[in-house]
Amino acid sequence: MEFNSTDQEEIEILKKWWKENGTSTVVGVVIGLALLFGWNGWNSYLDSQGIAASQQFEQMQIALIEKDSDRAGRFGGQLIDQYPGTIYAANGALGLAAMKVESGDSVAARVYLQWVMENSDFDSPRQLARLGMARLYLEEGDIESALSHLSSESSVIYASHFSEVKGDALRQKGDSSGAQSAYVEAIQLVDSTDERRALLEMKLAEVAQ
């Protein structure tokens, strides 16, 4: 897939968005990076729908910062219902999924992640949603469902993350050889200065034992 300059800006910001801390996505990080996108992507949304969606998104972020889940849910729902084709709706759904994970409601989190996968035209949030879904299933012990979400879509943007979660799933399944291969692949896909590299190498060493 080819990316234009606007898509690339979205990708570079969203690449920093998904952390490797299991399903415990830190809502504060999500909010901060989403705000950053709001500035960087502003010129791409200088139309009435984009401006309205960005305003709704800003209100949702404020509600998340204030830990007001009811208000965040209301604004996020409006984004999804009224502006489904915008990046704000996709990011809003991801933010609500993270909020639900934080509160321990994995069922509701999956609903939002599924919406992104089925409705977003933006590759980055769709892949983030697929990663999130795989992590949720893995935490619940449903290894096959986790693996199916990792293999059903080829990822270029988050390839190392997909390989890492695949390694986690295969390790949990008892497939040490497969897990090692996945971790090696993940290590090869990250830069030598990436802070994730040390964690991946530790995982590889553990499974190799």
Domain definitions of the chain by residue range: 5-142, 158-209
Stretch 24-32: mean pLDDT, rounded? 45
Q: What is the dihedral of CA 125, 131, 136, 137, to 10 degrees?
A: 130
CA distances from 16 to 19, 70, 81, 84 (A): 7, 27, 27, 23
CB 188 within 8 A of CB 198: no
pLDDT, the chain, mean? 81
CB 98 within 8 A of CB 30: yes
Burial annotation 139-152 (CB, 10 A radius, 16+ → b, else e): beeebebbbebbee
Encode pLDDT of 74-99 as tens digits.
Answer: 999 999 999 998 989 999 999 999 99
Whether residue 20 is predicted with pLDDT greater than 80 in this model: the reply is no
User: 208 Cβ partners below 8 Å, 6+ apart?
Assistant: 176, 180
- pTM of this structure: 0.73
Tell me the C-alpha distance between 128 and 162, whole Å. Answer: 10
Whether residue 165 is predicted with pLDDT greater than 70 in this model: the reply is yes
**Window from 60-64, 110-114, 149-153, 204-208 with minimum mean pLDDT:** 149-153
CATH topology of domain 5-142: 1.25.40
If one counts every other C-beta atom within 10 angstroms of the C-beta of residue 59, the result is 17
Banded pLDDT at 35 (limits 50, 70, 90): very low
Predicted local distance difference test score (pLDDT) of residue 171 = 95
Predicted local distance difference test score (pLDDT) of residue 191 = 86
Predicted local distance difference test score (pLDDT) of residue 173 = 95
Stretch 24-47: mean pLDDT, rounded? 46
